[in-house]
Amino acid sequence: MSRESDHAFKADGEIASYPILIIGAGISGIAAGCQVKRTLGVKDFVIFEKNNDIGGTWFTHRYPGVACDVPAILYSFSFAPNYNWSTLRPSGREIWKYLADVCEQYHLSDNIHLNTEVTELHWDEETLEWEVKFQRHPSLRKGTIRAKIVLTAVGKLVNPKTSEDILQDVHGVETFQGNVIHTSQWNESLDIRKKNVLVLGTGCSAAQIVPQLLGTDLGADSVTQLMRSPPWVVPNHLSKKHIGWWERFMPSLTRNIPGFAQLVRATIFVITETNYFRFIRPGVNARIRRAQKAKALLSHMKREVPSQYHQILTPHYEMGCKRLVHDDGWFHCLHDSRVELSTLSLKSLGPKVGVLGDEDEQITIPLDAIILATGYDTSTLLQPMRIIGRNRIDLHELWKRRGGPQAYMGVALDNFPNFFFLFGPNSSSGHTSVLVGIENAVNYTLRVIGPIVKGWAEAYEVKEAACTNWTDIVQQSSRERIWVNGGCGSWWVDETKWNGMVYPFSMLYATYAATFPIWDDWVPTYTPEGVLQRNKRSSTTLVTSVSLAILMMCLYHVSWHEMTTVGLKA
Decide if 51 contacts 59 (C-beta within 8 A). yes
Helix (H, G, I), strand (E, B) or coil at 561: helix
Decide if 222 contacts 340 (C-beta within 8 A). yes
> In the prediction, which pLDDT does 557 show?
55
pLDDT tens string, the chain, 570 residues long: the values are 544 445 554 545 578 999 999 999 999 999 999 999 999 999 999 999 999 999 999 999 999 999 998 888 899 999 999 988 998 889 999 999 999 999 999 999 999 999 999 999 999 999 999 999 999 999 999 999 999 999 999 988 888 887 888 898 899 999 999 999 999 999 999 999 999 999 999 999 999 999 999 998 999 999 999 999 999 999 986 777 878 888 888 888 888 899 988 998 899 888 888 887 788 778 888 889 999 999 999 999 999 999 999 999 999 999 989 889 999 899 999 999 999 999 999 999 999 999 999 778 899 999 999 999 998 888 888 999 999 999 999 999 999 999 999 999 999 999 999 999 999 999 988 788 899 999 999 999 999 999 999 999 999 999 999 999 999 999 999 999 888 888 888 888 998 999 999 999 999 999 999 999 999 999 999 998 888 877 766 555 445 555 656 666 665 554 444 444 444 444
Peptide bond between residue 282 and the one before it cis (omega within 30 degrees of 0): no
Sign of the torsion angle spanned by Cα atoms 35, 36, 39, 41: negative
Crossing angle of helices 92-105 and 27-35, in 10° steps, is 20
> In the prediction, which pLDDT does 225 show?
98
> Rounded distance, CA 528 to CA 522, Å?
18
> In the prediction, which pLDDT does 562 show?
46
> Rounded distance, CA 539 to CA 17, Å?
35
> Rounded distance, CA 264 to CA 250, Å?
10
Residue type at 220 in one-letter notation: A
Q: Which residues contact 114 (CB under 8 A, 6 or more apart)?
A: 1, 2, 25, 49, 51, 52, 53, 54
> Rounded distance, CA 53 to CA 220, Å?
30
From the list 64, 347, 323, 318, the residue with the least C-alpha distance to 187 is 64
From the list 151, 152, 132, 131, the residue with the least C-alpha distance to 42 is 151
Distances in Å between the alpha carbon of 76 and those of 30, 70, 108? 12, 11, 17
E strands present in 306-359: 325-326, 339-342, 345-349, 353-357
pTM of the model: 0.90
CATH class of 163-231+322-372: alpha beta
Q: Identify the bridge partners of residue 171 per DSSP, sorted by sequence position.
A: 348
From the list 175, 171, 39, 30, the residue with the least C-alpha distance to 104 is 30
Q: Identify the bridge partners of residue 198 per DSSP, sorted by sequence position.
A: 224, 370
The DSSP element (H or E) to which 397 belongs, if any, is helix 395-402
> In the prediction, which pLDDT does 545 show?
55
From the list 203, 277, 269, the residue with the least C-alpha distance to 489 is 203
- Residue 76: Cβ within 10 Å count: 20
Q: Which residues contact 262 (CB under 8 A, 6 or more apart)?
A: none
Distances in Å between the alpha carbon of 163 and those of 94, 99, 101, 185, 331? 29, 30, 35, 12, 27
489: Cα within 13 Å, side-chain hemisphere: 7
From the list 564, 408, 554, 527, the residue with the least C-alpha distance to 128 is 527
> In the prediction, which pLDDT does 13 show?
56
- Could you tell me the residue ranges of all domains in the chain? 5-159+378-464+500-525, 163-231+322-372, 532-569
Decide if 113 contacts 127 (C-beta within 8 A). no
> In the prediction, which pLDDT does 5 show?
46
Indicate the Cα dihedral angle 400, 60, 70, 89, nearest 10°: -170
CATH of domain 5-159+378-464+500-525: 3.50.50.60
> In the prediction, which pLDDT does 361 show?
82
> Rounded distance, CA 106 to CA 42, Å?
12
Q: Which residues contact 439 (CB under 8 A, 6 or more apart)?
A: 31, 77, 78
Residue type at 371 in one-letter notation: I
Distances in Å between the alpha carbon of 127 and those of 12, 26, 367, 379? 20, 30, 59, 33
The secondary structure of 147-216 as a DSSP string is: EEEEEE---SS-SBPPHHHHTTT-BTGGG--SEEEEGGG--TT---TT-EEEEE--SHHHHHHHHHHTST
> Rounded distance, CA 280 to CA 510, Å?
16
